[in-house]
Copies of this chain bind each other. A is one copy, B any other.
Amino acid sequence: MKVSSRGEYALRSLLLLGQHQGQILPISEIAEKTMVTVKYLEQIMHQLKKLGYVDSKRGMQGGYTLRFPPEEINVGEVIRKLEGPLSPMGCASVTSYERCSLEAGCLLKPLWVLVRDKIAEVLDQTTLEDLLQRKIKPDAGGSLLVKN
């Protein structure tokens, strides 16, 4: 159930840019602060640019900036665009459902749907701004099983 390194590094970079709004950060500085090699980060920043999350400026004093204010950048969306659906199984995905021949009587699908919903609930309701403001609430918990 891992998030890929690309997803993690991309979010790190977006957060750093969010902490320096109005400034242009060169990739060398982003690399240093996020602990990612310049060369690997180049690929990730390029991807973020193609996805429209950042703008870049070339030449001296060049670098990257956030294209939208942090409150408009949704974490679930970033992760989906970088590494595909949040769902643990294709059959439970809302955004890119995959049919499965077992599905009719599948005892597992309701579980994966529930897990997907829990993950999506967190990530789709979180923006970059929430992270910057440390607004993530610890888990409340609760019972999950039907009583009978």
> Interface residues, chain A, CB within 8 Å of chain B?
1-3, 8, 11-12, 15, 34-35, 74-77, 79-80, 86-89, 94-95, 101-102, 107-108, 110-115, 117-126, 130-132, 134-148
Residues of B within 8 A of A143 (CB): 125
Residues B101 and A35 in contact, CB atoms below 8 Å apart: yes
Question: 6 A-B contacts, Cβ less than 8 Å apart?
Answer: A8-B89, A8-B108, A95-B148, A107-B131, A117-B141, A135-B148
**With the chains together, A88 CA to B75 CA distance in Å?**
14
Residues of B within 8 A of A87 (CB): 1
Residues B119 and A1 in contact, CB atoms below 8 Å apart: yes
Known interface pairs A12-B102, A75-B111; 15 further A-B residue pairs with C-beta atoms within 8 A, sorted by A's residue number:
A1-B3, A1-B87, A3-B112, A8-B89, A35-B101, A95-B147, A114-B138, A115-B119, A118-B121, A120-B144, A121-B139, A121-B142, A122-B144, A124-B145, A135-B145
Closest to A117 in B: B139
Residues of B within 8 A of A124 (CB): 144-147
